[in-house]
Amino acid sequence: MKILIAGFQHETNTFAPTKASYESFVQGEGFPPMVRGADVLGLRDVNVPIGGFIKVMQAHGRELRPVIWAGASASAHVTTDAFERIGGEIIAAVEQGGFDAIYLDLHGAMVTEQHDDGEGELLERVRRIVGDRMPVVVSLDLHANVTARMFAHASALVAYRTYPHVDMAETGERAARILEDLMWEQRPLHRAMRRVPFLIPVNGMCTLVEPARGMVGMLADLETRPVVSVSFAPGFPAADFPECGPTIWAYSFEEEVAERAADALLAKIVGEESRWEVPFLAPDEAALEAIRLSASASRPVIIADTQDNPGVGGDSNTMGMVRALLRNGATDAAVGVIWDAEAAAAAHRAGVGARIALRLGGRSGVEGDSPLEALFEVEHLSDGRFRFDGPMLNGMEGELGPVACLRVEGVRIAVSSVKMQVFDRNLFRVAGIEPERMKILVNKSSVHFRADFEAIAEAILVAKAPGPMAADPADLPWERLDPAMRVRPLGPSFSELSPVAG
């Protein structure tokens, strides 16, 4: 069996300030940098879906035809240039033929400048070339907004089951086993799909805690023969198009079996709707509570600055939580990572020990955010190169460009030249900050940081400081959402809120 493999990952926040250019994918921005051809096989031992797929198929002696793998940090729309260049390489390889099946490592929440459903568009182009019979198996992120086109053109879709995403490679392994089933059975899988009628806040999707943990357990219980695969994608609640939202689906070679599995999962989540709500703290509330808890703690109190998470479309440079820490007299606090290449360059010109006046960050354009004007001490400088030692991208090399640790009063700020979510402690260490020694850590992240930071945390607080990614999806200025979709758990439907929807 010869299998064409490729990957193209992006999570699109249509309300975010910055688009994903071709260069974003070349760089990776927290994903592995773009690779082509045989170099794709070098992802075999990286915790990304294509890595797990490669490992299984090589063990089975399958011949792999790698094309390209590219991912970029969440942001606004993928530019047409980036979509057509990367997608075009995949389509050109498909047109050449000479393979028996296709595996694609996609995200499931890509919106481009021209297409609401980037993955559906790509899959439709693929299917137009290969016809209806060829197996096309796709792995998806847990945050996928799964569409009718994606279901129509993929033979099978399989989603991550963990958030933080520690099972990305494992999801690729599951996709490989489904592809083997399809090749062995030589008949199509029956699919049952259900849409969940309410949007879920990103922070509520963490599978380390209930109710998401219970959903993952049910998926594992249901996935026994004759059920081939079950998935639950809570969705990415920041893409303004009609198919945004959570989905559940099941596959079996027996139609009724798939229907029963999907119905059982939908009944569970709808029956527990109230448990999916999330409490948030205002910036000053979070700072004061962190100061109170840290006074008698031996480990750091961690604040998730969730609305400026670059993993969901923020630019990682809002100053709301920094100001709250300073206003309330926090000490031994560290904030990371602020994306401000100009500030990092100024620190490198000045040198360690210098005191420099800067207007740091604050470029989101969000109401309530502005640059922090202060005199900063340059405490540490580095080239920004590091290795991921945490669970998510363990063993992969990372690069933040020139990095500086800037201190103002009792707050240390890690400043980078490349945007990246804080899901590994080494993003602080590359700035000379030992996270375990801090009383308070502010992470530009929503949930992924928990994979590496939960073990050292005295407590974890979630702050709702001004930022481009609304933690509560009901706060977003929706225009094109499905009219029947409730904008939060137990909340009103979009049609009840908007005359446009009505």
Whether cis (ω within 30° of 0) applies to the bond prior to 226 is yes
- Residue 215 banded pLDDT, cuts 50, 70, 90: very high
Question: Which pLDDT value is given to residue 426?
Answer: 98
Domains and CATH numbers, the chain: 1-186 (3.40.50.2300), 189-278+472-502 (no CATH), 283-471 (no CATH)
The answer to whether the beta carbons of residues 137 and 62 sit under 8 Å apart is: no
Taking CA atoms, 145 is separated from 238, 353, 493, in Å, by 10, 48, 18
Identity at 270, one-letter amino acid code = V
* Number of helical H runs and strand E runs in the chain: 14, 19
pLDDT digits (tens, 9 = 90+) for 84-107: 999 999 999 999 999 999 999 999
pLDDT digits (tens, 9 = 90+) for 449-485: 999 999 999 999 999 999 988 899 999 999 999 999 9
Percentage of residues of the chain with pLDDT beyond 70: 99
Dihedral class, residue 362 (left if φ above 0, else alpha if ψ from -120 to 50, else beta): left
Residue that the structure tokens 């502010």 belong to = 442
Residue 369 has pLDDT above 80, yes or no: yes
Q: Cis (ω within 30 of 0) for the bond into 32?
A: no
- Cα separation, 484 vs 492, whole angstroms: 9
Say what the pLDDT of residue 87 is: 98
pLDDT tens digits along 281-296: 999 999 999 999 999 9
pLDDT digits (tens, 9 = 90+) for 112-150: 999 999 999 999 999 999 999 999 999 999 999 999 999
pLDDT in tens, 389-421: 999 988 889 999 999 999 999 999 999 999 999
Residue 502 has pLDDT above 60, yes or no: no
CB 122 within 8 A of CB 92: no
| C-alpha span between 309 and 186 (Å, rounded) | 44
- pLDDT for 500 equals 60
The Cα–Cα gap between 191 and 187 comes to 13
Q: What is the DSSP letter of 148?
A: H
Collapsing DSSP to helix, strand or coil, 262 comes out as helix
188 pLDDT tier (thresholds 50, 70, 90): confident
Please report the pLDDT score of residue 29 as a whole number: 87
Give the pLDDT score at 250.
98
The CA-atom distances, in angstroms, between 239 and each of 202, 276, 466, 500 are 13, 19, 19, 17
CA–CA gap between residue 480 and residue 239 (Å, rounded):
9
Phi, psi of 357 (to 5 degrees): -90, 130
For all residues of the chain together, what is the average pLDDT? 96
Rounded Cα–Cα distance for residues 502 and 500 (Å): 6
Band (261; pLDDT cuts 50, 70, 90): very high
Q: What span, in angstroms and rounded, lies between the C-alpha atoms of 48 and 27?
A: 16
The model carries a pTM of 0.89
Using the predicted structure, report yes or no on whether residue 82 has a pLDDT greater than 60: yes
Residue 499 pLDDT level (bands cut at 50, 70, 90): low
Torsion over CA: 146, 148, 154, 157 (sign):
positive
CB 407 within 8 A of CB 375: no
* Residue 436 pLDDT exceeds 80: yes
- Looking at beta carbons, which pairs linking 85-89 to residues 24 or more positions away fall under 8 Å? 85/22, 86/8, 86/22, 86/25, 86/34, 87/8, 87/118, 87/121, 87/122, 87/125, 89/6, 89/36
What pLDDT digit, counting tens, does each position of 309-364 carry?
Answer: 998 888 999 999 999 999 999 999 999 999 999 999 999 999 999 999 999 999 98
